[in-house]
Amino acid sequence: MNEKHQKSFTTVKSYRPFHSRYDPCKPIGVKYYSTPPNLFLGFQPPNLQQFSAKEALKKGTLWRFFYDYYENPYEKKGR
Amino acid sequence: MWFYEKKLQYPVRVSTCNPKLAKYLIEQYGGADGELAAALRYLNQRYTIPDKVVGLLTDIGTEEFAHLEMIATMVYKLTKDATPEQLKEAGLGEHYVNHDSALFYNNAAGTPWTATYIQAKGDPIADLYEDIAAEEKARATYQWIIDMSDDPDLNDGLRFLRQREIVHSQRFREAVEILKEERDRKKFF
């Protein structure tokens, strides 16, 4: 991958929603949202690194840069 | 014209009989941000968009039908052989009354698909921005379904579909850049 286009960002962000003492549900604590790689590149530059054809068919993209595995962020935290 | 290849874009596996999950998944079949809405939106908009991006809408619109077929297979497998009792327990009693186990274009809450979900404004920027939004909304829907699902085989297919939404969003964003570009014009500032 071009030096310039190394991943210098995160694809999961979080924030802490305000919780009032009058809110009946147990506070969720942290809320998560995705910010996938396509938000950060603009027009795709030439010569980005590729997956092998076989791998690409499995992953859903030819380009390593755009690959973004998703898992339930709340489960990971063991909630 | 289309050529049909008699196989799925990505293999669909389902580990358990789980009609409840089918009820959630149907959102991506006949929901506002589902694959049917996406395919029909793009394939219709392409007639009145600048030539440079017509091909992109054709390609992505076509792929959405391949995704629709994957969702249909998932829903079918999750409900195949389920008894009326099991469907009822999963909240699909109303569906059974109207459709038996047949698939139908409605969202997770049972509201039938409507063309008001999609737009063709005729303004290239407005249309492409709607398409970008549709991809991001579909991506989010896949995330919420993965969050609710405990079927690893199904999630594997859903992750593939989510990844495709990301790539499509990227290509629509590039289409906007192409239409903004001044490159080939004799314009001096």
Q: What is the pLDDT of residue B186?
A: 67
Residue ranges of the domains in chain B? 19-101+122-180
pLDDT digit string, tens, across residues B8-39: 999 999 999 999 999 999 999 999 999 999 99
What DSSP assignment string belongs to B133-152?
A: HHHHHHHHHHHHHHHH---H
pLDDT at B85 over 80: yes
Task: Check CB contact of A11 with chain B, cutoff 8 Å.
Answer: no
pLDDT digit string, tens, across residues A22-50: 999 999 899 999 999 999 999 999 999 99
**Residues of B numbered 6-45 whose beta carbons fall under 8 angstroms of chain A's beta carbons: which are they?**
10
The beta-carbon neighbor of A60 closest among B143, B147, B163 is: B163
Q: Which residues pair with A14 in a beta bridge?
A: A32
- Domain B19-101+122-180 bears CATH identifier 1.20.1260.10: yes
Confidence tier at A79 by pLDDT (50, 70, 90)? very low
Name the percent of chain A lying above pLDDT 70: 87
Q: What is the pLDDT of residue A75?
A: 83
pLDDT at A4 over 60: no
Q: Which residues pair with B106 in a beta bridge?
A: B112
Chain A residues touching residue B163 (CB < 8 angstroms)? 59-61, 66-68
Q: What is the pLDDT of residue B178?
A: 95
Q: Phi and psi (nearest 5°) for B122? A: 85, -10
Residue B114 DSSP class: -
CB–CB of B131/B144 below 8 Å? no
Token duo for residue A79:
């909630």
Q: What is the pLDDT of residue B187?
A: 63
**Per residue, what are the HEC states of chain A?**
CCHHHCCCCCCEEEECCCCCCCCCCCCCCCEEEECCHHHCCCCCCCCCCECCHHHHHHHCCCEHHHCCCCCCHHHHCCC
Q: What is the pLDDT of residue A65?
A: 97
Residue B128 DSSP class: H
3 state SS of B85: helix
Helices B35-45 and B124-148 cross at an angle (nearest 10°) of 170
Residue ranges of the domains in chain A? 10-76
Task: Check CB contact of A18 with chain B, cutoff 8 Å.
Answer: no
Give CA–CA dist B30/A38, Å, rounded. 26
pLDDT digit string, tens, across residues A5-25: 567 899 999 999 999 999 999
pLDDT digit string, tens, across residues B47-83: 999 999 999 999 999 999 999 999 999 999 999 999 9
Mind telling me the catalytic residues of B?
35, 64, 67, 135, 165, 168
3 state SS of B112: strand
Question: How far apart are the CA of A65 and the nearest CA of chain B, in angstroms?
Answer: 10
Cβ contact, residue pair B147, A67, below 8 Å: no
Q: What is the pLDDT of residue A1?
A: 46
Q: Is B153 annotated as a binding residue?
A: no
**Per residue, what are the HEC states of B60-78?**
HHHHHHHHHHHHHHHHHHH
pLDDT digit string, tens, across residues B118-144: 999 999 999 999 999 999 999 999 999
Nearest CA in chain A to B148: A72
